[in-house]
Amino acid sequence: MISTSNASDRPIAWFILSALQPTVEEINQMATTVPAAADKLRWIAASNNPGLRLMRLRELVKECPEISDLMPSDLNVPGMRKFAELTITPRAES
């Protein structure tokens, strides 16, 4: 497990947790399913920046909860850390 923020320590690998975002196709499919949010969903799907797309999607879910299925699930950070400590670290050290 990498426990330092010093860039000169030269770690072998960095593990970054990131939720899987909905694809443009999934967003467009939801636009056909929920006509009330269709225009805004197409506008969100047209965003080239995934971070901006997710931010706009979060804002739209507040207005239109029926599209909440598009939101990525919450990450279980303590569970992922334990997995990394028990599984990944021993493999990297051997």
pLDDT at 7 over 70: no
In a domain, 70, yes or no: yes
In a domain, 13, yes or no: no
pLDDT at 67 over 60: yes
Of residues 2 and 6, which shows the higher confidence score?
6
pLDDT (0 to 100) of residue 94 = 67
In a domain, 1, yes or no: no
Contacts of residue 13, defined as CB under 8 A and 6 or more positions apart, other chains included, come to 2, 92
Q: How many domains does the chain have?
A: 1
Question: 34-72: b or e for each residue (b if 16 or more CB lie within 10 Å)?
Answer: beebeebbeebbebeeeeebbebbeebbeeeeebeebee
What DSSP element (H or E) covers 9? none
pLDDT at 5 over 70: no
pLDDT (0 to 100) of residue 82 = 86
In a domain, 48, yes or no: yes
Range of the domain at 65: 21-75
- Most confident residue range from 11-15, 70-74, 85-89: 70-74
In a domain, 40, yes or no: yes
Question: Which pTM does this prediction carry?
Answer: 0.63
What does the pLDDT look like over 8-61, one tens digit per residue? 666 555 666 677 889 999 999 999 999 999 999 999 999 999 889 999 999 999
Gap between the Cα atoms of 43 and 27, Å rounded? 10
